[in-house]
Amino acid sequence: MTNLSVNVNKIAWLRNARNGDIPNLKQLCEVILGSGSSGITVHPRPDLRHITPKDVKDLATLTNKYSKELNIEGNPFSKKSSTYDGFIELIKIIKPTQCTLVPDMDNQITSDHGWDLTDDTSYLEECIDVIKGLGCRVSLFLDPQINQIEKAKKIGADRVELYTGPYAKAYELDNFNNRVLEDYKRACKRAIELELDVNAGHDLNLKNLKKFLTINEISEVSIGQALISDALIYGLENTIKKYLSLCG
């Protein structure tokens, strides 16, 4: 069984388009959690384009109420501003179940690559130590490359989250074959050998998720835009159930 964590950034993004409270993020997250999702994922950004620090604090309370997990994604290099706590400071306040560190720039539209851990990782290692000291599980967002996974273990990560954008793109091609999927299988196998749990996320959807999860060792998938888009067609509760059925 692979856990499903629902990324709710797009719900907040739609709400923010009118500077009001519709759709109501907390109310919809109650539906998500009540429908069987294992948790909520948020990726607060310094420009507050969707999830705000207040949202994160509210959702921490809500996930605790449901005894579910809160996964906060973000770049540990993001600094404090007049409207943003700074990523590490926010983690210190919230102490989520899981913290997924991603190498996004502040103005980046979405995550599109994993960390390059062949660079100097000294500050990243310090951040990992701080976050783990708070009692949070740390996952690093990585491309499916063996050398990166091995370095993730060395610098103290508990998990890796494999960036699945290339898999999703390949799946859409008429000539899709298993070569791309084999890269993920090898990466996952090496992570498990190193006693790293494996998460996955980005562009997974109702069409491509089942094939990807033939990799049986995936602990968790984080799905946002596709799931929220599907909810416009099927309804939120029914959409959660569709994804859960694929997670087996």
Catalytic residues: 43, 73, 202
Distance of alpha carbon 24 from alpha carbon 27, whole angstroms: 5
Angle CA(25)–CA(238)–CA(111) in degrees, nearest 5? 55
**Cα(48)–Cα(69) distance, integer angstroms:** 22
CA–CA dist 202, 209 (Å, integer): 11
Instruction: Indicate the SS3 state at residue 36.
Output: coil
Q: Which two tokens stand for residue 227?
A: 């799931």
The two three-digit tokens of residue 49, written as one number: 């384009």
Instruction: Count how many residues are written for the chain.
Output: 248
| Angstrom distance (rounded) from CA 134 to CA 96 | 9
SS3 of residue 164 by DSSP: coil
Pick left, alpha or beta for residue 33 (phi over 0 → left; psi -120 to 50 → alpha; otherwise beta). alpha
Structural contact between residues 225 and 6, judged by C-beta atoms closer than 8 angstroms = no
Collapsed DSSP state (helix, strand, coil) of residue 94: helix
